[in-house]
Amino acid sequence: MKIWMDRERSRAICPSCERKTEVVFQRREVTLSAPPVTAEDVLVAVCVECEGIAMIPHQSTPKLREAIQKPKETLNVRVPGHLEDVLYLLVDRVAHGWKNGKAPVLKYLLHEFGDNPEYARRVREHLDDDLAQGPADQDVSVRVPTYILVAVDQMAEMVGIANRSEVVRGVLASAKEDVLEERDPEFASSIQRAIAAVA
Ligand SMILES: [Zn+2]
């Protein structure tokens, strides 16, 4: 694996010049659009002709990822009481009743929803379950990385779910089947592994 050093020179395809140009590795501020984050001092290959970023080397990925995962916001939704109970039962099942377990369990489900279109469509179908109905009278409030919420909003729009509250209803209704009724043992064990890693 090649590790580039600051001020080292090479050649790369520059997307602005649309051809191979000389590049020099420099640390720059990198701004991403979705999620909207800025990372300082990221090593990039700068095109010497247009001064644009021609490419971002592999070694800069962890630093960018850290910047993406850092900003968090509070997700506030209201769900029917019986779905809040489902969330507590999930914590019991996959996190041995850990008292801080609600946030990581919900975060895992939301991450999966934002990341996996097949799962997201299944969640959409579960919104028709009886279990997903009922007055939203319980507050659920968790800190979630912004990048997860950005992905959740995009996926919700793609599969036709109106808002984050509906997404939370859907992931809980489907987790009741997948995890509590053990319909999807693989899914259950991957939540368990993810929770064990943060507990
Ligand atoms: Zn260029």
- 74-92 confidence digits (pLDDT tens): 999 999 999 999 999 999 9
pTM: 0.79
Task: Record the tokens describing residue 73, joined without a space.
Answer: 């916001």
pLDDT range class, residue 199, cuts 50, 70, 90: low
Query: Distance (Å, rounded) from C-alpha 132 to C-alpha 120?
Result: 15
CB 56 within 8 Å of CB 44: yes
Under DSSP, is residue 95 helix (H, G, I), strand (E, B) or coil? Answer: helix
CA of 24 to the centre of ligand 1 (A): 11
Cβ–Cβ under 8 Å, residues 16 and 50? yes
**Ion ligand 1 contact residues with beta carbon within 5 A:** 14, 16-17, 47, 49-50
Predicted local confidence at residue 178, as pLDDT = 94
Mean pLDDT of 178-182: 93
Q: How far is the CA of 29 from the centre of ligand 1 (A)?
A: 17
Domain locations in the chain?
A: 9-69, 72-198
pLDDT tens-digit map of 115-144: 999 999 999 999 999 999 999 999 999 999
Q: Which fold has domain 9-69?
A: Ubiquitin-like (UB roll) (3.10.20)
Higher pLDDT, 198 or 104: 104
51: confidence class by pLDDT, cuts 50, 70, 90: very high
Partner residues linked to 72 by β-bridges: 145
Q: What is the dihedral of CA 137, 92, 192, 139, to 10 degrees?
A: 20
